[in-house]
Chains A and B, each alone.
Chain A
Amino acid sequence: MEEHSVEVTIKNPMGFHVRPVQRFADLARLFKADVEVHMRNRTVPGKSVINLVSLGGRCGDSMVITARGEDARQCVDVLHFLADSSFFVEDSMDTASQPNRHVERLARMASCFESEIQIVLNGKAADAKAVEAVSGLGLKPTSVPRFRVRGTDEEQARAVLENLVESCFYVEDEMGRRPRKGK
């Protein structure tokens, strides 16, 4: 069975609290791989919000994310990017200096997958892994693009990208202004 791990440091001033944990578990659940998180001398399932919050992770703590299963590599890459991006928690982020962060989040997430991914918006298509190409489409955090995905990990890639779209790319000023699918 394929196994991948990465060690990351929590950079969020308020630690691994409910919001970062939810985003971590939400994305982890989109993969078939089993996910574990080791932190503060405990190991818990990485898809369980309750278990992850119970770790009480502080800013500066390191955690090891381990995934086992056919899509373990992609899962770890996505979660690594999320953790490196402070779990997209924007409380202490200088958001004014990052107006294009939704495009960068999309391109970085898409790059975690082997599949060829095109984003389609207003009848135009672009390589979803290329920041400049996606920027050229005029993508906004509230846009609802379609994706053309082809490759071995297309199911997971599509699920992750649709999660981003449903969550307004985690641009917090825009979140919750549009009902989530199925709610």
Chain B
Amino acid sequence: MLLERSGVMALADYLSEELIRMDLASRERDGVIRGLLDSLVACKALPARLLEPAVAAILDRERLGSTAIGRGVAVPHARLEELDEVLVAFGYSRAGVEFSALDSQPVHEVFLVIAPKGRADEYLDLMERITRLVQNDDFRRFVSHAKGRRDVMELIKEMDR
């Protein structure tokens, strides 16, 4: 899968419908992380040989502190030397996922990010976009009522500006 990328990237530039999972099957953090990475592999965004290193890197990062950042949102992430570009996948869980959040609340929206080493500005831009988006109560409410991936993709295009 090739994404059109130039200049400042919007969140929608990193995503496609295939990289959005509605009603995540797992209620466990590790299962959700693996499921979202599987989506990236299925889309050929992430080479299959990097799946296990990516799982390990993300779980290693979680060991340093949960990436549940409040309001039912988590941003599991890691950097991998071998990657060429920043990759994002989104998952929604109606039931909620146990993410060892500091506020002890289950996580419903998960933005998984893996990035090459360096690229600090792009990475910070992306995190800024994600956190601004999820601060919008309308976004989280609309996601919970979305009928499918297409709705979420449209929502992100519309609200991440």
Where the two chains meet, the residues of A that have a C-beta atom closer than 8 Å to any C-beta of B are 13-19, 22-23, 26, 48-51, 53-59, 172, 175-177, 183
Contact = CB atoms under 8 A, between A and B. Distances in A.
7 contacts: A14-B124, A17-B123, A17-B127, A18-B75, A54-B131, A58-B121, A175-B65
B125 interface: yes
Interface in B58-84: 61-65, 67, 69-71, 73, 75, 77
Interface in B27-60: none
Interface of A is mostly: loop
Contacts, number: 65
A53 B128 contact: yes
Among A19, A54, A177, max chain B CB count under 10 A is at A54
A16 B123 CA distance: 11
A54 B11 CA distance: 14
Contacts of B10: none
A14 B120 contact: yes
Contact of B128 (A23, A56, A183): A56
Given A19-B64, A26-B102, A176-B64, A48 B70 contact: yes
Given A17-B124, A18-B75, A177-B63, 19 more contacts: A14-B120, A14-B123, A16-B124, A17-B123, A18-B67, A18-B77, A19-B61, A19-B65, A22-B65, A22-B69, A22-B102, A49-B102, A50-B73, A50-B131, A54-B135, A56-B128, A58-B120, A58-B121, A175-B65
